């Protein structure tokens, strides 16, 4: 559990970097408009990204000890001769990558399973992991592949279950991340929130996209709504960041303090203390 907590904290830090270095100019218009364009195209992959390439990167991140089991499963997959055997190993690989919080390679295995089985759950598994990979990866060249695969997965999931708000949320996130259809993505997320005002994922992503477009006042309201629904450290962290950006230092400090209470990890606490000290100076 501790390993996964630390990995998750690192992911949050990566998300913050992602927010500030990749602003989406069209989001300001998207958040303030109810008009939705019909362009559904995701950004075309610029480079070839494969399960092998992302697995190599992921193994470097987790180290040899944690990757040994995965390497063994990959060797077994190469030697597998029947579809049933390959499917079983792919499921093991997907779960193994999930266990070490590496969504990119997990996503490719879930996608392979979804294309074979064509089930709602497998398409959702693939789409969610590709969205997570797009958010967490520092490799901007890989992002278009992650996004286009996420779009494919969630489009198939919505075909199988048109009423699923989770599928609509995932598709909305993928559209915005791809840059080709940000207004359409925002419209999908707003539709989810209208049907389910307490939807955690939709509110979270609308808040994050408000931050990316510099609309911190709107972001504050989204994260306050989230905290009323699910008061976890992630919502408080983004609330603190949003308050900081609009100059509300005391509110930001209070939100950072709540982060420390909800995630008492020494590494995370040290980083939050640095943020608080900067605001107090």
Is residue 233 assigned to a domain? yes
pLDDT, tens digit, 9 for 90 and up, residues 173-188? 999 888 667 888 999 9
Domain match, 57 and 151 both: yes
Q: Domain check: are 128 and 238 in the same one?
A: no
Reported as a pLDDT band with limits 50, 70 and 90, residue 268 is: confident
What is the per-residue pLDDT for 137? 81
| CA distance linking residue 13 with residue 84, whole number of Å | 40
Task: Return d(Cα 93, Cα 109) in angstroms, integer.
Answer: 7
**CATH code for the domain of 61:** 1.25.40.10
Boundary residue ending a domain (157, 180, 203): 180
154, part of any domain: yes
Has residue 42 been placed in a domain?
Answer: no
Determine the Cα–Cα distance for residues 157 and 127; give it in Å rounded to an integer: 9
pLDDT at 170 over 90: yes
31 and 87 in a single domain? The answer is: no
User: Which of the four pLDDT bands, split at 50, 70 and 90, describes residue 20?
Assistant: very low
Q: pLDDT averaged over the chain?
A: 86
Q: Which residue has the tokens 């983004």?
A: 238
Among 155, 180, 205, where does a domain finish? 180
Q: Do 152 and 189 share a domain, yes or no? A: no
Say yes or no: 149 and 58 in one domain: yes
pLDDT given at position 263 = 83
More confident call, 70 vs 19: 70
Residues 90 and 107 in one domain: yes
pLDDT (mean) for 1-20: 49
Domain residues for the domain of 249 are: 1-37+181-281
- What is the pLDDT at residue 139? 80
Q: Are residues 104 and 33 in the same domain?
A: no
Confidence check: pLDDT of 44 > 50? no
166-172: which pairs have CB atoms within 8 A and are 24 or more residues apart? 166/124, 166/201, 167/120, 167/123, 167/124, 167/127, 168/192, 169/199, 169/201, 169/202, 169/205, 170/124, 170/127, 170/128, 170/131, 170/201, 171/127, 172/202, 172/205
Rounded CA-CA distance 279/257 in Å is 12
For tokens 């709602």, what's the residue?
120
Nearest to residue 156, comparing CAs of 145, 144, 170? 170
Same domain, yes or no, for 23 and 69? no
**Which domain-ending residue is among 180, 207, 237?**
180
What is the mean pLDDT of the segment spanning 65-77? 96
Overall domain count for the chain: 2
Residues 117, 162 share a domain: yes
Residue 1 has pLDDT above 90, yes or no: no
**Is the full-model pTM beyond 0.75?**
yes
| Listed range (109-113, 214-218, 229-233) with the worst mean pLDDT | 229-233
Apex 112 CA angle, 110 and 118, nearest 5: 85
Closest CA to 167 of 149, 180, 155: 155
Tell whether 102 and 63 lie within a shared domain. Answer: yes
Is residue 28 domain-shared with residue 137, that is, in the same domain?
Answer: no
**Pair (193, 165) in one structural domain:** no
pLDDT at 43 over 70: no
* Domain membership flag for residue 59: yes
């Amino acid at each position: 559990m501790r390993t996964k907590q630390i990995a998750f904290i690192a992911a949050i830090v990566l998300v913050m970097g992602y927010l500030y270095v990749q602003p989406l100019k069209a989001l300001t218009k998207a958040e303030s408009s109810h008009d939705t364009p019909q362009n559904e195209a995701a950004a075309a992959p610029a480079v070839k990204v494969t399960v092998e390439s992302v697995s190599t990167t992921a193994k470097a991140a987790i180290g040899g000890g944690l990757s040994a089991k995965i390497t063994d499963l990959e060797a077994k997959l190469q030697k597998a001769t029947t579809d049933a055997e390959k499917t079983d190993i792919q499921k093991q690989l997907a779960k193994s990558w999930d266990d070490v919080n590496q969504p990119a390679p997990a996503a490719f295995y879930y996608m392979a399973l979804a294309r074979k089985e064509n089930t709602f759950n497998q398409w959702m598994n693939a789409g969610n992991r590709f969205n997570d990979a797009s958010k967490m990866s520092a490799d901007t060249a890989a992002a278009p592949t992650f996004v286009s695969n996420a779009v494919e997965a969630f489009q198939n999931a919505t075909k199988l279950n048109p009423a699923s708000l989770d599928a609509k949320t995932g598709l909305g996130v993928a559209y915005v991340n791809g840059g080709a259809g940000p207004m359409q993505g925002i419209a999908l997320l707003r539709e989810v929130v209208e049907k389910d005002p307490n939807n955690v994922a939709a509110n979270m992503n609308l808040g994050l996209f408000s931050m990316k477009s510099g609309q911190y006042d709107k972001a504050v309201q989204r994260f306050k709504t989230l905290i009323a629904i699910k008061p976890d450290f992630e919502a408080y962290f983004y609330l603190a960041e949003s308050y900081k950006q609009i100059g509300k230092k005391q509110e930001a400090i209070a939100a950072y303090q709540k982060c420390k209470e909800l995630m008492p990890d020494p590494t995370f606490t040290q980083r939050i203390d640095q943020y608080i000290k900067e605001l107090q100076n």
